[in-house]
Amino acid sequence: MINETKHKQLVFALIFCFLIFLNLKIVVGQDVYRTQSGNMVVTLIAEDSVFTLSSKEIDIQLNNSTAKFIMSIDKATFKSANVKVNEKLAAVKSDKILFSGKLGIESIQRHDHIPLDFEVEGMLSTNNKIVLGSGRLEHISSEGDISCLLTLKFNISKEDLGVDIQGIELNDEVQIDVVQVLLIN
pLDDT of residue 18: 46
The contacts of residue 95 (CB under 8 Å, 6+ apart) are: 74, 75, 76, 162
32-184 CATH: 2.40.128.110
Ordered by start, the domain boundaries in the chain are 1-30, 32-184
Segment 116-141 mean pLDDT: 91
CB atoms under 10 Å from CB of 149, counted, come to: 16
| pLDDT for residue 112 | 75
Percent share of the chain, pLDDT over 70: 76
The predicted model gives 150-157 an average pLDDT of 92
Judged against a pLDDT cut of 60, whether residue 148 lies above it is answered with yes
CA 7 to chain CA centroid, nearest Å: 47
The whole-number pLDDT of residue 41 equals 92
Indicate yes or no: pTM above 0.85. no
Q: Is the pLDDT of residue 22 over 60?
A: no
pLDDT of residue 185: 53
Position 136 scores a pLDDT of 93
- In this predicted structure, the answer to whether residue 1 has a pLDDT above a threshold of 50 is yes
CA 69 – CA 85 distance, rounded (Å): 30
37-40: long-range contacts (C-beta < 8 A, 24 or more apart)?
A: 37/180, 37/181, 38/178, 38/179, 38/180, 38/181, 39/178, 39/179, 39/180, 40/73, 40/176, 40/177, 40/178
Give residues with Cβ within 8 angstroms of 42, minimum separation 6: 52, 53, 54, 78, 161, 163, 174, 175, 176
